[in-house]
Amino acid sequence: MMMQKRKIAQWLIVLVFFLASACGSQITPPPTPASGEMVLGIATVTPKITEPSPEPAVQTTPTADLTAVETEQVVESPSICSLTDQSLPVSLKSKLLDMINHDPAPDTDEPCTTIVPGDDHQIGQMVLTLVAPFPTVTDGIETDSLKSFWQTGDNTFIDRLLVYPYGMEALTWLWGEPKGTVELMPHTVQDIDFADIQMDMIKEAWISERTWAIVAFDELHPRWKVIALDGNSPIQKSFDLEHYALTIPLTLYNENPTRLERSFEYFAYPKFEDLMPFSNYNPERLTTVILTGVTAMVRATAVGMDERGIQVPGEDLADVLKEADILHISNEVPFAENCPKHYRGNYLVFCTPESYMDLLRSIGTDVVELTGDHFQDYGPEAMLYTLELYAKEGWPVYGGGKDIFDAREPVKMEVNGNKIAFLGCNAKSPNFAQASETSTGAYHCDMDYMAETVRELRSEGYLPIVTFQHEERYEWSPNAQMIRDFGIVLEAGAVIASGSQAHQPHYAEFVHDGFAHYGLGNLFFDQYGIAEYTDWAFIDRHVFYNGRHISTEILTIRFLDLVKATWATPEQRIEMLETLFDTARMWWPGEEPWRKQ
């Protein structure tokens, strides 16, 4: 056993008295919640260490020949168990390794200390998530439903639950031994990358009926859909950590009371302040990006804005849109100082008065895409005027600009430690995108340049989001050119490729480890009733954490008229998600129906 030694100078008689007064500690097994109760959530971690009572002062009569004696005091090592013996998510193992690499480094002799679920002397927390395959319509369940499945096997929602060892240990501490069908999946396998292990669980859920899983918050993957518990979800800005059922408190356990006490002291070591709290959830590392579809404040939409109020088109959506760290708007139409008053009709040359900027302000716009077909409708003066207005608001733009170099330049942003870049182009005829070395306009897609730029952004640590103004189709399926172009940028390393051109929604799928949504539908445009699905639209909320894209939420809106959209009702939302997911593009690769015929 390794021992830590520290030299101290004391009077011999005081040392003898101290050794004679030493007292022991009582061994405490891993705590178990009483009657299912637990303490949820912490803001900061301060281990509670019971200090020995101060010794009474010792009165001595000094003698002339009494000399100071230098001796050694032996201090027990905390003896933290090795990472392979810790049932923790990868991030918490990594944080523990960072601690062990600091001074003082503990040994791993038996009996060693493990980190376990428990609220006695809490040193940290582990946030778990209930997840389902991405093409799942259900958005949330009650905590009692999950608890009932665990404790009784009630299968109202699911037949099987997949868990990693840390999830099994945590939920057993919380709710007792499982009675439902709970399958333990390996979390660490020698010489196998965790990404591959993670994909094994995801695939098992995707290809199985009514199979969900429990995973750590920071081990989320875009192919999972996070299922809210009691309306509370850790991927949303409104997340209530303290009252979330799967916020699991963590404590320490060692059968040796002295080593246990030393372990608590070790976790309180001042050098570890930057590593605390010991948690896999930090809201300051979470970034949300909302992508939207077509904005064109013209024709009947503009008439409605003039008659009912400029902010009316977005008033029902604004609270959610403003909540995003980055709100993307694809405004296809230039602002013009001489823009005439709008009227209802089918004309196709567009401009927007400056006063309509108030709608974009009211929803919290952060970045503007300029790949639209109509950016050049009122000439270079209007385009330059538009760029000037955006610059005054502090809104970066991409996909269009004062020349081709400006237009094709990506927008780079860093929010809460996540580096995110936006890149866009117009994939239609060059007549719609005429930016050149000497002319203003939208950027026409050069797919070699787009792919190379994506690779450069990844090398700089950015997570690229690529948006297209692509072919307009009044049907759900993308065409071959869209599939090709989206695939090129996703294969190059884009995490998301999104279609900004669609006047009705298109299907989505996962391609080359990225998320492709070929068209979202309109945000602000008078297409209500034009075709069967033009009153439907999606808004995609993407979640980033610690430098990874971890989740996507599909938000659903329905147009009330030619002016305004609102959130879909629960019944409408079910219909919209069922339609979006009713495609072989949402089957696991190799598991498509035709392959099994």
| 26 φψ region: left (φ > 0), alpha (ψ -120 to 50), beta (else) | beta
Verify that 288 and 277 share a domain, yes or no: no
Please compute the mean of the pLDDT values over residues 167-185 and round it to a whole number.
97
Q: Are residues 181 and 323 in the same domain?
A: no
Dig out the tokens for 370 from the structure.
């300029």
The answer on pLDDT for 495 being more than 50 is yes
Decide if 55 is inside a domain: no
Query: What are the DSSP E strand ranges found in 326-442?
Result: 326-331, 367-369, 397-398, 400-401, 411-415, 418-426, 441-442
Is 590 within a domain? no
* Residue 591 forms part of a structural domain: no
138-166: burial string, b at 16+ Cβ within 10 Å, e else: ebebebebbbbbbbeebeebbebbbbbeb
Q: What are phi and psi of 258, to 5 degrees?
A: -70, -45
What pLDDT score does 296 carry?
97
Out of 232, 264, 281, a domain closes at 281
Within 10 angstroms of residue 431's Cβ, the number of other Cβ atoms is 10
Domain encompassing residue 250: 1-50+67-281
The reply to whether 164 and 303 lie within a common domain is no
Nearest to 403 by CA among 437, 447, 432, 379: 437
Residue 364 lies in a domain: yes
Average per-residue pLDDT for the chain: 86
74 pLDDT band (50/70/90 cuts)? very low
- How many domains does the chain contain in total? 2
Candidate from 20-34, 132-146, 248-262, 318-332 with smallest mean pLDDT: 20-34
Alpha carbons 184 and 64: distance in angstroms, whole number: 72
Determine, yes or no, domain membership for 261. yes
17, pLDDT greater than 50: no
| Radius of gyration of the CA atoms of the chain, in A | 30
pLDDT at residue 4 greater than cutoff 80: no
Determine the pLDDT at residue 195.
85
Residue 14 CA to residue 19 CA, distance in Å, equals 9
Residues 291 and 174 placed together within one structural domain of the fold: no
On whether both 259 and 383 belong to a single domain, the answer is no
Whether residue 323 sits in one domain with residue 271: no
Whether the per-residue pLDDT at 203 is higher than 80: the answer is: yes
In a domain, residue 321? The reply is yes
Is 480 exposed, middle or buried, given 0-12, 13-18 or 19+ CB atoms closer than 10 A? exposed
Q: Is pLDDT above 80 for 244?
A: yes
Please check the confidence at residue 283 and state whether its pLDDT lies above 90. yes
Average pLDDT over residues 69-97: 75
Residue linked to tokens 């696991």? 588
pLDDT digits (tens, 9 = 90+) for 286-339: 999 999 999 999 999 999 999 999 999 999 999 999 999 999 999 999 999 999
Q: How confident is the model at residue 104 (pLDDT cuts 50, 70, 90)?
A: low
- Quote the pLDDT of residue 155: 84
State whether residue 361 is helix, strand or coil.
helix
pLDDT band at residue 568 under the 50/70/90 scheme:
very high
Check: CB of residue 98 under 8 Å from CB of residue 275: yes
Q: Residue 594 domain-assigned?
A: no
Q: Are residues 200 and 290 in the same domain?
A: no
**By the 8 A CB rule, do 511 and 490 touch?**
yes
Res 10 pLDDT > 50: no
> Both 326 and 185 in a single domain?
no
471, 473, 479, 484: CA torsion to nearest 10:
30
Residue 554 sits in a domain whose CATH number is: 3.60.21.10
Domain boundary among 281, 305, 323: 281
What pLDDT score does 58 carry?
36
Q: Is pLDDT of 351 > 50?
A: yes
Query: Which two tokens mark 593?
Result: 């129906």
User: Average of pLDDT values for 126-136?
Assistant: 98
Residue 223 makes CB contacts below 8 A (sequence gap 6+) with 133, 134, 202, 206, 510
Peptide bond into 111 cis (omega under 30): yes
Which pLDDT score is estimated for 77? 57
Q: Which region among 36-50, 395-409, 437-451 has the lowest average model confidence (pLDDT)?
A: 36-50
Cα torsion angle, 238, 242, 243, 244, sign: positive
227 and 340 belong to one structural domain: no
Structure tokens given for 590 = 């190799």
Q: Among 281, 312, 331, where does a domain finish?
A: 281
Q: The domain spanning residue 74 has which CATH number?
A: 3.40.190.10
pLDDT digits (tens, 9 = 90+) for 22-61: 333 333 344 443 333 333 333 333 333 333 333 333 333 3
| H/E stretch holding 69 | strand 69-75
Sign of CA dihedral 185, 191, 192, 193: positive
> Band of the pLDDT at 224, cuts 50, 70, 90?
very high
Nearest-CA neighbor of 87 among 175, 174, 188, 182? 188
136 falls within a domain: yes
Mean pLDDT in residue range 490-503:
98
Give the residue with greater pLDDT, 587 vs 429.
587
**If pLDDT is split at 50, 70 and 90, which confidence band does 3 have?**
very low
Mark whether 310 and 392 lie in a shared domain.
yes
Do 402 and 427 belong together in one domain?
yes
pLDDT of residue 128 exceeding 60, the answer is yes
What percent of the chain has pLDDT above 90? 73
Length of the chain equals 597
Shared domain for 311 and 322, answered yes or no, is yes
